[in-house]
């Protein structure tokens, strides 16, 4: 009888200890869930900020192109790259697609250090090729650039 009472007390103490531990784990789990939700909110804010910056950059590049401060190919490469960071609306996607096409059509032309390493004759040949490709896209590029500069309410949230 004493042994069964002792076992009953030990079982009760074990049950209390396990209940306390389960409560502690539940508390830690809730705390972890709150931290995860806060991190997701911060990430969403950061992504939204980056998207707004990318949209503004697209608009600035389009404006520079319209003002002839950039070549069509340079603007196309920059806008095509920035557009990958944006959830484009259908209208924006249509305007950006011509930049993406031109960037793809001129992707084989070296840039920066690779360009500097080319001979003068290769540079002349590739410049002529780039200008030929740009002329095929020019009308569409400038129309799309004009439209992108006019989509302020979409580009700047």
pLDDT digits (tens, 9 = 90+) for 97-122: 999 999 999 999 998 899 999 999 99
Per-domain residue ranges of the chain: 48-155
Q: Which residues contact 147 (CB under 8 A, 6 or more apart)?
A: 95
* pLDDT of res. 112: 87
Best CA proximity match to 74, nearest among 50, 99, 92, 42: 99
Best CA proximity match to 147, nearest among 48, 53, 57, 58: 58
pLDDT digits (tens, 9 = 90+) for 14-28: 999 999 999 999 999
Look up the pTM and report it: 0.75
């Amino acid at each position: 009888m004493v042994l069964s009472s002792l076992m009953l007390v030990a079982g009760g103490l074990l049950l209390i200890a396990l209940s306390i531990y389960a409560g502690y784990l539940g508390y830690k789990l809730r705390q972890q869930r709150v931290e995860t939700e806060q991190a997701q909110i911060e990430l969403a804010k950061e992504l939204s900020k980056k998207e707004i910056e990318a949209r503004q950059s697209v608009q600035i590049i389009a404006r520079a192109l319209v003002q002839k401060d950039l070549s069509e190919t340079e603007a196309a490469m920059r806008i095509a790259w920035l557009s990958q960071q944006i959830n484009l609306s259908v209208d924006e996607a249509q305007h950006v697609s011509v930049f993406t096409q031109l960037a793809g059509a001129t992707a084989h032309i070296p840039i920066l250090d690779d360009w500097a390493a080319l001979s003068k004759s290769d540079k002349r040949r590739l410049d002529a090729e780039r200008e030929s490709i740009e002329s095929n896209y020019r009308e569409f590029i400038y129309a799309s650039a004009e439209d992108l500069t006019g989509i302020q309410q979409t580009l700047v949230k």
